[in-house]
């Protein structure tokens, strides 16, 4: 139902318009002067405004200007008994949808208002559609890349909890993509229109970290020349990402715990608290339970943060994702370097799959960027990879002598070794002969100890 706000200081006109629009299925709100009309505009947020131009106090142009501030797409129709070219131009320039002269026919007014309401509804629908499209594109951009079962299961859990406001603790080795996962949670949440702010708790000294998190008031310490809003407040209606939370000093852990529990912070040097409305996502590469045992991390803060636990496995445990990640990074690098279709040679991919990636996804991206810059053509060869990646050793799968009663696993290892030898060590061809995906072969090699 279309909500219309009608403003006129003549009660007879107001009554007749109320009856007219209610009879046509509109939800009607009225005001007998411009001041009351402005109050109703703020309170009701109608779909359509019909207002007289000349009224005591605030006039129709005042209503129009305020309506444009509140919602630039809100249609406002102006009525006047003293129309002039100058007043009509003023109304149009101010953004009026229509300028109608009294007296008017009811049919004419209804037709204009219906067109305005339809235009409004169409704009709202288009805006919502664009927002969904934009959000969909953003989701694709932000979604962590991979097809391994561990990552797929993790993303399924992530997509379940993301729409809630629950606090999330992301764990995993350095370089596994903890901030990427945090941004994905933000994109899927009801707070996606709000800011995503982050801070590395181990990158700043304690005093500066406290000021950045909670803010400070002017004169609270040397150099505090003005009030500063803390990041927890600045991230209002959005998401705040606390990276490397395990590095936070114990004194600040107490203040953070209070902020999470009470939903408010006290800036440095202040005596009054400031409310916060933010979702917290924390991340660490440390074992926080071990840090608690050592007395370096508060158990009460840990339990506040660990409402939803998400663990990102290291890249060596999800080798199925390496080829997809490589394609993803090379696509971005092709655009950035202005070169079309940078790809990996087959033996380059084999080299990437063999390496253990102690620096995880970040190390893979850096290695590929180096290789892309050094490669003269569009195909990356092993020689352009860092030496530590190229020189990753390969061990033998099985010993020369099998036990008298080998298990199926030992027989499988021996068969894989035989096929690899028959194919001259070419893992892609060996996988084809074995009838398995190359990533499956590399996973078996890793499990059997054939890859270091």
- CA–CA distance, 284 with 174 (Å, rounded to integer): 8
> Model pTM?
0.63
In this prediction, residue 389 carries a pLDDT of 93
CATH number of the domain to which 274 belongs:
3.40.50.300
DSSP, residue by residue, 352-374: HHHS--TTHHHHHHHHHHHHHHH
Say whether both 113 and 184 belong to one domain: no
CATH number of the domain to which 30 belongs:
3.40.50.2300
- Of the pLDDT bands very low, low, confident and very high (cuts 50, 70, 90), residue 154 is very high
* For residue 400, pLDDT beyond 60: no
Q: Which domain holds residue 440?
A: 393-452
Say whether both 147 and 294 belong to one domain: yes
Does residue 134 lie in a domain region?
no
* For residue 241, pLDDT beyond 90: yes
Query: Mean of the pLDDT values across residues 239-245?
Result: 97
379-380 and 278-284 strand pairing: unpaired
Say whether both 240 and 273 belong to one domain: yes
Say whether both 149 and 298 belong to one domain: yes
Say whether both 99 and 33 belong to one domain: yes
Does residue 208 lie in a domain region?
yes
CATH number of the domain to which 364 belongs:
1.10.8.60
- Cα Rg of the chain (Å, integer): 32
Does residue 129 lie in a domain region?
no
- Final residue before a domain boundary, out of 65, 90, 122: 122
- Final residue before a domain boundary, out of 91, 122, 153: 122
CATH number of the domain to which 439 belongs:
1.10.10.60
pLDDT digits (tens, 9 = 90+) for 158-174: 999 999 999 999 999 99
Which residue in the block uniquely carries the two structure tokens 């800011």? 195
In this prediction, residue 315 carries a pLDDT of 93
Query: Mean of the pLDDT values across residues 29-51?
Result: 91
* For residue 136, pLDDT beyond 80: no
Does residue 54 lie in a domain region?
yes
Say whether both 193 and 77 belong to one domain: no
Closest CA to 306 of 204, 161, 201: 161
Say whether both 173 and 217 belong to one domain: yes
pLDDT digits (tens, 9 = 90+) for 404-425: 566 677 778 778 888 887 777 7
Say whether both 226 and 346 belong to one domain: no
- CA–CA distance, 366 with 215 (Å, rounded to integer): 35
Say whether both 101 and 231 belong to one domain: no
Closest CA to 19 of 112, 79, 120, 106: 106
The dihedral region occupied by 198, where left means phi > 0, alpha psi between -120 and 50, and beta the remainder, is: beta
Say whether both 164 and 289 belong to one domain: yes
Query: Mean of the pLDDT values across residues 140-153?
Result: 84
In this prediction, residue 452 carries a pLDDT of 34
- CA–CA distance, 72 with 284 (Å, rounded to integer): 44
Residue 324, both tokens:
């997809």
pLDDT digits (tens, 9 = 90+) for 376-386: 888 999 999 99
* For residue 142, pLDDT beyond 80: no
- CA–CA distance, 357 with 315 (Å, rounded to integer): 6
Does residue 264 lie in a domain region?
yes
Does residue 130 lie in a domain region?
no
The edge-to-edge listing of strands for the beta sheet with 76-80 is: 27-31, 3-7, 48-52, 76-80, 98-101
- Between residues 442 and 336, the one the model is more confident about: 336
Percentage of residues in the chain having pLDDT higher than 70: 90
- Of the pLDDT bands very low, low, confident and very high (cuts 50, 70, 90), residue 83 is low
* Domain tally, the chain: 4
Does residue 180 lie in a domain region?
yes
Query: Mean of the pLDDT values across residues 358-372?
Result: 95
Question: Backbone phi, then psi, for 408, in 5-degree steps?
Answer: -60, -35
Query: Mean of the pLDDT values across residues 329-335?
Result: 90
pLDDT digits (tens, 9 = 90+) for 338-362: 888 899 999 999 999 989 999 999 9
- Of the pLDDT bands very low, low, confident and very high (cuts 50, 70, 90), residue 89 is low
- Between residues 109 and 432, the one the model is more confident about: 109
Beta bridge partners of 168: 281, 308
Say whether both 305 and 158 belong to one domain: yes
* For residue 393, pLDDT beyond 80: no
- Between residues 130 and 236, the one the model is more confident about: 236
Does residue 345 lie in a domain region?
yes
Whole-number Cα distances in Å, 351 to 63, 87, 331, 344: 69, 76, 19, 10
pLDDT digits (tens, 9 = 90+) for 215-239: 999 888 877 888 889 999 999 999 9
Residue 218's CB is within 10 A of a number of other CB atoms, namely 10
Say whether both 383 and 347 belong to one domain: yes
With beta carbons less than 8 A apart as the criterion, state whether 3 and 44 touch: yes
In this prediction, residue 210 carries a pLDDT of 93
- CA–CA distance, 447 with 452 (Å, rounded to integer): 10
Longest dimension (CA), the chain: 109
- Final residue before a domain boundary, out of 283, 313, 343: 313
Residue 346's CB is within 10 A of a number of other CB atoms, namely 13
Residues 6+ apart with CB under 8 A from 378: 339, 340, 341, 342, 343
- CA–CA distance, 240 with 230 (Å, rounded to integer): 11
């Amino acid at each position: 139902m279309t909500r219309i706000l009608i403003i006129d200081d003549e009660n007879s006109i107001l009554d007749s318009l109320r009856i007219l629009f209610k009879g046509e299925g509109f939800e009607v709100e009225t005001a007998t002067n411009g001041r009351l009309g402005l109050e109703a505009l703020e309170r009701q947020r109608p779909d359509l405004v019909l207002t007289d131009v000349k009224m005591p106090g605030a006039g129709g142009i005042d209503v129009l200007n305020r309506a444009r501030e509140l919602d630039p797409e809100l249609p406002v129709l102006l009525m006047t008994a003293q129309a002039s070219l100058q007043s009509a131009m003023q109304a149009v320039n101010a953004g009026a949808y229509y300028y109608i002269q009294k007296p008017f026919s009811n049919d004419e007014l209804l037709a204009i208002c219906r067109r305005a309401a339809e235009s409004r509804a169409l704009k709202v629908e288009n805006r919502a559609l664009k927002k969904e499209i934009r959000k969909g594109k953003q989701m694709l951009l932000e979604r962590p890349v991979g097809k391994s079962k561990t990552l797929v299961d993790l993303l399924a859990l992530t997509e379940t909890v993301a729409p809630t406001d629950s606090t999330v603790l992301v764990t995993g080795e350095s370089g596994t993509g903890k901030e990427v996962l945090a941004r994905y949670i933000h994109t899927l949440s009801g707070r996606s229109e709000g800011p995503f702010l982050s801070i590395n708790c181990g990158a700043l000294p304690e005093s500066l970290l406290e000021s950045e998190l909670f803010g400070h008031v002017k004169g609270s310490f040397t150099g505090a020349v003005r009030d500063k809003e803390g990041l927890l407040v600045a991230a209002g209606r959005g998401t705040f990402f606390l990276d490397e939370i395990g590095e936070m000093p114990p004194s600040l852990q107490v203040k953070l715990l209070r902020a999470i529990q009470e939903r408010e912070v006290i800036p440095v040097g202040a005596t009054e608290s400031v409310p916060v409305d933010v979702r917290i996502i924390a991340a660490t590469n440390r074992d926080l339970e071990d840090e608690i045992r050592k007395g370096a991390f508060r158990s009460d803060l840990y339990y506040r943060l660990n409402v939803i636990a998400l663990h990102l496995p290291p890249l060596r445990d999800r080798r199925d994702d390496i080829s997809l990640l490589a394609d993803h990074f090379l696509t971005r690098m092709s655009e950035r370097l202005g070169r079309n279709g940078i790809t990996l040679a087959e033996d380059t991919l084999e080299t990437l799959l063999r390496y253990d990636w102690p620096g995880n996804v970040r190390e893979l991206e850096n290695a590929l960027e180096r290789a892309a810059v050094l490669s003269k053509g569009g195909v990356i060869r092993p020689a352009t990879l860092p030496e530590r990646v190229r020189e990753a050793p390969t061990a033998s799968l099985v010993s020369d002598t099998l036990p008298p009663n080998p298990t199926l696993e030992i027989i499988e290892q021996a068969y894989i070794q035989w096929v690899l030898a028959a194919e001259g060590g070419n893992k892609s061809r060996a996988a084809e002969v074995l009838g398995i995906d190359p990533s499956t072969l590399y996973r078996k090699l890793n499990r059997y100890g054939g890859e270091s």
